[in-house]
Amino acid sequence: MTELLRNQGLKRVRMRLFTAVVVVFTLTCSGSFGMEDVVSSSGPGLTLLMIVVLPFLWSVPMAFVASEMGSMIPEAGGSYRWVRRAMGEYWSFQSGWWWSLSVFIDSAVYVALALGYIQSQLDLTNWQRWFVGVGIVAVFTFINIRGLQLTGWSLTVIQIIVMVPFVLFTIFAFAKGTGAVFTPFMPKGQNVVESMNLGLAVMMWMYAGWEAMSTLAGEIENPQKVIPRALMVATPIVIVTYFITVAALIRAGGANNWSTMVSDASSGGTDYIVAAKLVGGAFLGWLIFASAIASNIGLYAGYLASGARPVFQLSRDRLLSRFFGITSKRWGTPWVAILVYGIVNCVLISRSFTALIVMDIFLLMFAYILVFISAIVLRVKEPDTPRPFRVPLPTWALAIWVAIPIAIAVFALFTNGSDYLVGGLIGVLSGPIAYLVFKYFYHGTTDRALEGATVTPEGELTQFGADIEGVTA
Q: Mind giving me the DSSP string for 133-185?
A: HHHHHHHHHHHHHH-HHHHHHHHHHHHHHHHHHHHHHHHHHHHH----TT-SS
- Structural domain boundaries, residue 356: 13-323+331-445
pLDDT band of 473, cuts 50, 70, 90? very low
Comparing 82-96, 153-167, 207-221, 454-468, the range with the smallest average pLDDT is 454-468
pLDDT band of 140, cuts 50, 70, 90? very high
pLDDT at 6: 39
Q: Does residue 472 belong to any structural domain of this protein?
A: no
pLDDT band of 220, cuts 50, 70, 90? confident
285 membership: H or E segment, kind and range: helix 272-316
Overall size of the chain counted in residues: 473
To the nearest 10°, the Cα dihedral for 99, 390, 4, 142? 40
Tell me the three state secondary structure of residue 114. helix
**pLDDT one-digit tens code per residue, 34-64:** 888 888 888 898 999 999 999 998 889 999 9
pLDDT at 424: 67
Is the alpha carbon torsion for 183, 185, 188, 194 positive or negative? positive
pLDDT at 468: 34
Our CA angle for 343, 344, 349, nearest 5°, is 105
Residues 6+ positions from 321 with CB-CB distance below 8 Å: 315, 442
Q: Are strands 2-4 and 461-464 parallel, antiparallel or unpaired?
A: unpaired
Question: Could you count the other beta carbons within 10 Å of the beta carbon of residue 150?
Answer: 15
Q: Does residue 266 belong to any structural domain of this protein?
A: yes
| C-alpha–C-alpha distance, residues 408 and 5, integer Å | 40
pLDDT at 135: 93
Question: Could you count the other beta carbons within 10 Å of the beta carbon of residue 471?
Answer: 12
Type of residue found at 278: L
Residues 6+ positions from 416 with CB-CB distance below 8 Å: 197, 198, 201
To the nearest 10°, the Cα dihedral for 184, 190, 196, 202? -80
Residue 7, pLDDT above cutoff 50? no
34 membership: H or E segment, kind and range: none
The DSSP secondary structure of 399-439, one letter per residue, reads: HHHHHHHHHHHHHHHTSS-HHHHHHHHHHHHHHHHHHHHHH
Q: CATH number, domain at 98?
A: 1.20.1740.10
Cis peptide before 223 (omega within 30 of 0): no
pLDDT at 1: 33
Give the C-alpha distances (Å, rounded to integers) separating 171 from 77, 159, 166, 244, 284.
41, 18, 9, 10, 11
β-sheet bridge partners, residue 454: 463
Q: Does residue 1 belong to any structural domain of this protein?
A: no
pLDDT at 87: 92
pLDDT at 472: 27
pLDDT at 470: 32
Comparing 27-31, 225-229, 362-366, 463-467, the range with the smallest average pLDDT is 463-467
Q: Name the residue among 2, 11, 14 with its Cα closest to residue 149.
A: 14
pLDDT at 364: 81
**Mean pLDDT value across the chain:** 83
| C-alpha–C-alpha distance, residues 8 and 1, integer Å | 18
Comparing 212-216, 347-351, 364-368, the range with the smallest average pLDDT is 347-351
28, burial (CB in 10 Å: exposed 0-12, middle 13-18, buried 19+): buried
463 membership: H or E segment, kind and range: strand 461-464
Tell me the three state secondary structure of residue 471. strand
| C-alpha–C-alpha distance, residues 307 and 301, integer Å | 10
Q: Does residue 353 belong to any structural domain of this protein?
A: yes
| C-alpha–C-alpha distance, residues 313 and 195, integer Å | 41
Q: Does residue 136 belong to any structural domain of this protein?
A: yes
| C-alpha–C-alpha distance, residues 97 and 93, integer Å | 6
Q: Does residue 114 belong to any structural domain of this protein?
A: yes
Q: Does residue 119 belong to any structural domain of this protein?
A: yes
Task: Give the percent of the chain with pLDDT over 90.
Answer: 36
Give yes or no for a contact between 471 and 4, defined as CB atoms under 8 angstroms apart.
yes
Top mean-pLDDT range of 79-83, 115-119, 406-410: 79-83
β-sheet bridge partners, residue 470: 3
pLDDT at 107: 82
State the total domains in the chain. 1
Q: Does residue 2 belong to any structural domain of this protein?
A: no
Rounded average pLDDT over 436-445 = 87
Task: Give the single-character DSSP code of 320.
Answer: S
Q: Are strands 461-464 and 469-471 parallel, antiparallel or unpaired?
A: unpaired
pLDDT at 161: 95
Q: What are phi and psi of 274, to 5 degrees?
A: -65, -45
Residues 6+ positions from 231 with CB-CB distance below 8 Å: 24, 63, 64, 66, 67, 210, 213
pLDDT at 462: 55
